[in-house]
Structure 1
Amino acid sequence: MLPTFEKGRLIEELAVVKNELKELTLPPLREASEFYRNSKFKGKQTQNYDKNFLKIAKIEKAGGNYIVASYQVLSNMDDKLEVLGKLIDRAFAKDVGSTSISFLRANILQYLEVASFASRYARRVLLWTLSEEQSEDGPFRVPKALSRAEERWIWDNRDNYAYCLSILSIDVRRMESSFQAIPDMVVAPDDVSTVEATVGATKTDPFHFGIIPVRLNPIYYVRMAIAEWQVNRYKAAVEEKRALEYRLLVLKDGSKDAKIEQEIVYTEGRLQKLNKKLAEMEEGFND
């Protein structure tokens, strides 16, 4: 973890997540959700993904498939992120050293991390879905949207995404009450299990973040190169949205226009380069 958790940096990341959701993730996800609300997946890969997602994700009043569920959950994040902002403002009034991370602060960080990851993953899994489904439709003269490494990232994180959407689907009132019940106490790492046994894991980890085995967002764990990583992440998000717009046009209209196909090739080529650069940066963060 970081030597210190700076309030300003967390507020900045929260603003980034809000903007990405509103401007880059939700618009294409809304269109795809409207289409797949009444349409079934054709490809074996997308059908297998959906089956696995529905087995793991515990989302109240969820209907349909993983595309519909993704939009349902992520389109209802405004109030929750507002609550999270207030929690950050209070809990991180002063910069906090990594040795003084309380259960409350840890849960706030993890919730923000989950929201950030879910927004990013939702765009990429949607792009993968459209690419897979369009290859099932017949002659489509463009290569797959994602590289093998990007597809592997999709599959490596599919369970994590289902868990994340389950967490984010918890309604805002229950979210607030869960945060209010978390003890704002600092515990040494070696004593965490003892405290959880005494206080109860339902209070120390009410959202079950512990079931997610990996770090979902490197911004919380490193200091170096964060600005460059953020810029590249935003550029990739913009290209993802553009690629999704072209793919959605083909999905809805059945267009096989050569100009659109060429735009897809150019856009997804730029996106793959940006995602490769991001992956290399993130791998460097973990060294």
Structure 2
Amino acid sequence: MEILKYAASLLPNFKKDRLLEDARIVRTEIQNSTIPSYKQAMDVLNNKVLSKEIKAIEKEYFRAVGSTNNKGIVADIWFRMVELEKTATSIENLIEKDFENEIVVAGITVYKVSLIKALELISFSSRYSLRLLNYLYILETEATTGEQSYLAKQLSKGEISELRSRLNIFGRVLKSFTEGNRDFVKTIRTVPDVLVNEDTEAALATFGAIKVDPTGVHNLQGFAMNPIYHIGLIVAEYQSNKYKENKELKSNLELRLMNLVSVRDSGHSDPGVEREIEMVQSRIDKLSENIRKQEESVGL
């Protein structure tokens, strides 16, 4: 069972403070960076974009979330992120209320493992969404200017490949947390209070997949794992890199928005803004590479 595999990958024990700090960081990211950045982008990256690549990304995204939005992908992600922020806040409250100060994985329940996995998925989604928006701005700027080499100058092949390969799981995560009128927290509260270990695998099987994983979080694989729950030595460094990257991404998105508007109005980029974008993107690339190596060290 995936839930057993996931639980086995967690550190043997860690403090609740680690979960609470991560939940606070994720909630703040969504509130202060993700939601405002997507709101600013809605009028510019709507369903009238020129980029054929964006239109292809949009189709793949809407297949993953299982619905469409006539205002386009950016408006849809903004709406879902508003909902996701509420869930992140609720998960933070549940962790405060339901977890002991010292979390011992050998005695952890399905419910608590599911909350940790949910927080990881939300963290992945918040970071991915900003990187995706950066990519969308670049694609639309390239389409507007007609400069075919623009994308290659802005993002590495590795970054583009990772963004495209994880688009499906990003959409599926958003669907899982925001589908219909389901109350995620109320649903996760129905998870049976059963210990997660090899000895209880048979007991878990008797409940059935729907009762053990009613939110579907354990069916979601292929996202970037958060090493702070799986490797004990890089918490401060990883969180610092994510904070710096988030700050730089937010600044870069504002610059790219300004640049795209300038290109549409005048037919060409502002050289000063382009230079600033280049400098900020260079810092982002270095931080992203460090984060990628840390996430890959989880080995799942």
Give the structure-1-normalised TM-score: 0.90
Range with bigger deviation, 225-234 or 198-207: 198-207
Question: Contact 1:54 / 1:65 at 8 angstroms: preserved in 2?
Answer: no
Range with bigger deviation, 5-14 or 273-282: 273-282
Residue by residue over 1:218-269, the C-alpha shift from the partner in whole angstroms, topping out at 9 and shown as x without a partner, is: 2221111110111111111111111111111122343621101111111111
2:220 maps to 1:204: no
Q: Partners in 2 of 1:77 and 1:285 — Cα distance? A: 25
Question: Contact 1:7 / 1:93 at 8 angstroms: preserved in 2?
Answer: yes
Question: 1:1-287 to 2 correspondence within 5 Å?
Answer: 1-37=10-46, 39-58=47-66, 62-138=69-145, 144-170=153-179, 174-189=183-198, 191-192=200-201, 194-214=202-222, 215-254=224-263, 256-286=269-299
SS in 1 for 2:195: coil
Letter of the 1:128 partner, please give it. Answer: Y
Q: Which runs of 5+ in 2 are unaligned?
A: 1-9
Relative distance call for 1:189 and 1:30 in structure 2 (3 A) is farther
Q: CA deviation at 1:98?
A: 1.9
Relative distance call for 1:33 and 1:219 in structure 2 (3 A) is farther
Relative distance call for 1:67 and 1:89 in structure 2 (3 A) is same
Residue by residue over 1:111-145, the C-alpha shift from the partner in whole angstroms, topping out at 9 and shown as x without a partner, is: 11111111100000000111111111125696543
Question: Contact 1:113 / 1:217 at 8 angstroms: preserved in 2?
Answer: yes
Residue by residue over 1:48-84, the C-alpha shift from the partner in whole angstroms, topping out at 9 and shown as x without a partner, is: 211111111136x855332211110112334322321
Percent identity for Structure 1 against Structure 2: 25
Q: Which runs of 5+ in 1 are unaligned?
A: none
Q: Partners in 2 of 1:231 and 1:172 — Cα distance? A: 35
Question: Contact 2:262 / 2:270 at 8 angstroms: preserved in 1?
Answer: no
Relative distance call for 1:52 and 1:196 in structure 2 (3 A) is farther
Give the structure-2-normalised TM-score: 0.86
Q: Partners in 1 of 2:114 and 2:71 — Cα distance? A: 30
Letter of the 2:219 partner, please give it. Answer: I
Q: CA deviation at 1:170?
A: 4.1
Q: Partners in 1 of 2:171 and 2:153 — Cα distance? A: 24
Q: CA deviation at 1:154?
A: 0.5
Relative distance call for 1:111 and 1:54 in structure 2 (3 A) is same
**Cα RMSD, aligned residues only:** 2.3
Question: Contact 1:6 / 1:95 at 8 angstroms: preserved in 2?
Answer: yes
Letter of the 2:80 partner, please give it. Answer: V
Relative distance call for 1:129 and 1:197 in structure 2 (3 A) is same
Q: How many residues align structurally?
A: 284
